[in-house]
Amino acid sequence: SYALTQPLPVSVALGQTARITCGGNDIGSKNVHWYQQKPGQAPVLVIFSDSNRPSGIPERFSGSNSGNTATLTISRAQAGDEADYYCQVWDSSTQVYVFGPGTKVTVL
Amino acid sequence: QVQLEESGGGVVQPGRSLRLSCTASGLTFSTYAMHWVRQAPGKGLEWLAVISDDGSNEFYADSVKGRFTISRDNSQNTLYLQMVSLRAEDTALYYCVMAARYEFDYWGQGTLVTVSS
pLDDT in tens, A30-76: 999 999 999 999 999 999 999 999 999 999 999 999 999 999 999 99
Determine the pLDDT at residue A40.
95
Contact state of B109 with A95 under an 8 Å Cβ cutoff: no
Determine the pLDDT at residue B100.
85
Radius of gyration for chain B, computed over Cα atoms and rounded to the nearest angstrom: 13
The verdict on B13 touching A (C-beta cutoff 8 Å) is: no
SS3 per residue for A57-103: CCCCEEEEEECCEEEEEECCCCHHHCEEEEEEEEECCCCEEEECCCE
Contact state of B45 with A86 under an 8 Å Cβ cutoff: yes
Q: What are phi and psi of A27, to 5 degrees?
A: -60, -20
Contact state of B45 with A31 under an 8 Å Cβ cutoff: no
A80's CB contacts (< 8 A; 6+ apart) are none
Report the residue of chain B nearest A48, measured CA to CA. Answer: B103
The answer to whether A84 and A103 have CB atoms below 8 angstroms apart is: yes
| Alpha-carbon distances, residue B90 vs A18, B9, B39, B63, B68 (angstroms) | 34, 12, 9, 10, 11
Determine the pLDDT at residue A84.
98
Is the per-residue pLDDT at A107 higher than 90?
A: yes
Is the per-residue pLDDT at A79 higher than 90?
A: yes
Determine the pLDDT at residue B23.
98
Residues 59-88 of A with CB under 8 A from B: 84, 86, 88
Contact state of A96 with B61 under an 8 Å Cβ cutoff: yes
Classify residue B116 by burial, with Cβ atoms within 10 Å: 0-12, 13-18, 19+: exposed
The verdict on B27 touching A (C-beta cutoff 8 Å) is: no
B64's CB contacts (< 8 A; 6+ apart) are B48, B49, B83
Q: Above pLDDT 90, what percent of chain B?
A: 97
Is the per-residue pLDDT at A1 higher than 90?
A: no
The answer to whether A108 and A12 have CB atoms below 8 angstroms apart is: yes
